[in-house]
Amino acid sequence: MITLFAAGAGFGLPEISPYVTKTEVQLMMAGLTYRKTKGSRETAPKGQLPWIEDCAQAVGDSTFIRAHIEQKYGVDLDVGLTGKERAQAWAIERMIENQLGWVSTYFRFLEPANFAKGPARWFDAAPETMRDDIRRGLLEAVAGNVRAVGVGRHLREEVVWLGSLSLRSLDELLEDKAYLMRDSHPVGVDAAAFAVLAGILTPFFDSPLRREAESYPRLVDYAGRMMARFYPAHPWGLRQAA
Ligand SMILES: N[C@@H](CCC(=O)N[C@@H](CS)C(=O)NCC(=O)O)C(=O)O
């Protein structure tokens, strides 16, 4: 049995971490049985979530987890895609994770109101004398990462604009299909796209990036379609196409 070490539900989402969401959806796509439990970065093989334990083998990082499950269980999450489509799916996934994901992180952490109602609350139970320092430490670490990837160097409105380039690209790539690569079913990259889009669209946080995403009805419907397919019990309530 596979154990998925995760952040858990929160922020109006079935799973706080977009990378855990991606892995969880891919485990479901692969039809594998797994149990999900709260994990910590301290025990993770690569110091980040998600990681999985599979028969005493620890695998960290969503991309390596996907490779592990595809190889070990003989599944292909991109079945039916041509070599060129697989290359396109990989390029789309990189845009989502290496660019749009950081823009999303910017608005989740560096927008003071969102940090206060979201990540800051993780430490509500910490001793009062340490709480503010822990919160400040997390914020500084995330701000450092967001700056290191370049996104954090721009003005707030420039960050929105960068995000809008990826959102528009995703909308163009989706067209009127139900899923990114195929109308009939989702493939591996849909897990990554859904994870980041849901994190942007969650009504829990307000941001200009969310409003930008909401201006693409096809993307809103797509996120709703993926939510209904993989997390049918989760109250989402945003527009959902049939
Ligand atoms: N490349 C990694 C990224 C994972 C990642 O950024 N995880 C976040 C949670 S969403 C994390 O653990 N951040 C803590 C840290 O980087 O210290 C993957 O695909 O799994």
The residue extents of the domains of the chain are 1-77, 80-234
* Cα of 49 from ligand 1 centre, angstroms: 5
Regarding the beta carbon of 190 and ligand 1, being less than 6 Å apart is answered no
Answer CATH for 1-77 from 3.30.470.20, 3.30.930.10, 2.60.120.10, 3.40.30.10: 3.40.30.10
Whether 237 shows a pLDDT value over 90: the answer reads no
Q: What's residue 227's pLDDT?
A: 97
What is the number of the ligand 1 atom nearest to the C-alpha of 16? Answer: 10
Give the count of beta carbons closer than 10 Å to the beta carbon of residue 108: 23
Residue 242 has a pLDDT of: 41
Q: Is the Cβ atom of 49 under 6 angstroms away from ligand 1?
A: yes
| 192 C-beta closer than 6 A to ligand 1 | no
pTM of the predicted protein model: 0.96
pLDDT in tens, 2-14: 999 999 999 999 9
Report CA(48)–ligand 1 centroid distance (Å).
4
- The predicted-structure confidence for 41-95, as pLDDT tens digits, reads as follows 999 999 999 999 999 999 999 999 999 999 999 999 999 999 999 999 999 999 9
**Atom number, ligand 1, closest to the C-alpha of residue 141:** 17
What's the mean pLDDT in 91-115?
A: 98
- pLDDT above 50: residue 202: yes
pLDDT band for 238, please (50, 70, 90 cuts): low
Q: Pick one of 1.20.1050.10, 3.20.20.150, 1.20.120.850, 3.40.50.300 as the CATH number of 80-234.
A: 1.20.1050.10
Give, using CA atoms, the residue closest to atom 10 of ligand 1.
Answer: 17
Tell whether ligand 1 has an atom less than 6 A from the beta carbon of residue 59.
no
Q: Quick check: do 1-77 and 80-234 share a fold?
A: no
